[in-house]
Amino acid sequence: MKIAILSRNRRLYSTRRLAEAGVQRGHDIHIIDPLRCTIDIASQRPTIQFKQQELTGFDAVVPRIGASITFYGLAVVRQFEMMGVYPLNESVAIGRSRDKLRSLQLLARAGVGLPLTGFAHSVDDTGALIEMVGGAPLVVKLLEGTQGRGVVLAETYKAAESVIDAFRELDANFLVQEFIKEASGADIRCFVIGDKVVASMKRQAKEGEFRSNLHRGGAATLVKVTPEERSTALRAAKSMGLNVAGIDILRSNHGPVVMEVNSSPGLEGIETATNRDVGAQLMQFIEKNAKPYKTKTRGKG
């Protein structure tokens, strides 16, 4: 198969591993920087130019769209969809996952367990917002943050009030969430491909930190998930419309709660912690599922 990997940097572990796995399985792999693609939507025949050459004959595209280029990156994925190329994750589903509030709304509708979460716009609602999630301690999150940036723990009511007021002052979009203290700085990342959790790891925040992100010094180890956690992860990915997802779960005393859904989950942490060849499994999924024009939304809505 001819497969495009949309990635800004061919030296990134995930990009490299995907390319290796694809080549190993006999595929023709092209790493394409989405920011160097030009989109031609003027004609009946949608096309993409990359370095002055038209991209043709692709069977599948693997979007690895970083948060900072979501807007243009998704436009490129959508254009591939218009051309009938099978996307490993479709543009609409990636778009949903990039907005934490929208994701949580979709998960809630599907009945997936979530931390108590509130969101408000008006300036005089601070107290009500704090009460909505059961008071302090609580977590305040920027809607479009990533890698733990923009996630703040407010330990007291006063601190919560100040953080919320400061974010409002900045006109930032944020949500307020119950702090799952009993998770003790750990979360579970379930790597979902299709209808399977193919690997899972536990990430533990470093001493004195509540955020378990590996980018913030968290440590990853292999973990065995419970059947309830497994089904939570699968339902979460399905309700977002993602074929591939990293579902982050906190072990709360009211059961597993989904904290975040990641549509371009990294391979390095999970492959290292679990010793699984996730790259090869992603390629196998493409081999099984790639068909022309096979998306649920074809870029709509």
Q: Residues interacting with ligand ADP, by CB under 6 A?
A: 115, 139, 141, 145-149, 151, 177-180, 183, 187, 205, 210-213, 248, 250, 259-260
What span, in angstroms and rounded, lies between the C-alpha atoms of 112 and 122? 28
Whether the CB-CB separation of 298 and 91 falls below 8 Å is answered with no
C-alpha 205: how far from chain center: 19
What span, in angstroms and rounded, lies between the C-alpha atoms of 179 and 96? 24
Nearer to ligand ADP, 115 or 269 (CB): 115
Rounded least distance, CB 175 to ligand ADP, Å:
9
Nearer to ligand ADP, 17 or 100 (CB): 100
Nearer to ligand ADP, 18 or 188 (CB): 188
Torsion angle of the four alpha carbons 31, 36, 42, 44, in this order, in degrees rounded to the nearest 10:
-10
Size of the site for Mg ion (CB under 5 A): 1
**Which of Mg ion, ligand ADP, none has residue 297 at its interface (CB below 5 to 8 Å by kind)?**
none
Rounded least distance, CB 109 to ligand ADP, Å:
19
Rounded least distance, CB 260 to Mg ion, Å:
5
**Which of Mg ion, ligand ADP, none has residue 210 at its interface (CB below 5 to 8 Å by kind)?**
ligand ADP
Rounded least distance, CB 212 to Mg ion, Å:
8
Out of 59, 178, 260, 277, the only residue in the binding site for Mg ion (CB under 5 A) is: 260
Give alpha helix (H) positions in 86-156. Answer: 91-97, 100-109, 126-132
Nearer to ligand ADP, 86 or 210 (CB): 210
Rounded least distance, CB 48 to ligand ADP, Å:
29
**Residue 161, token pair as written in the block:** 């009030």
Residues of this chain that interact with Mg ion (CB under 5 A) are: 260
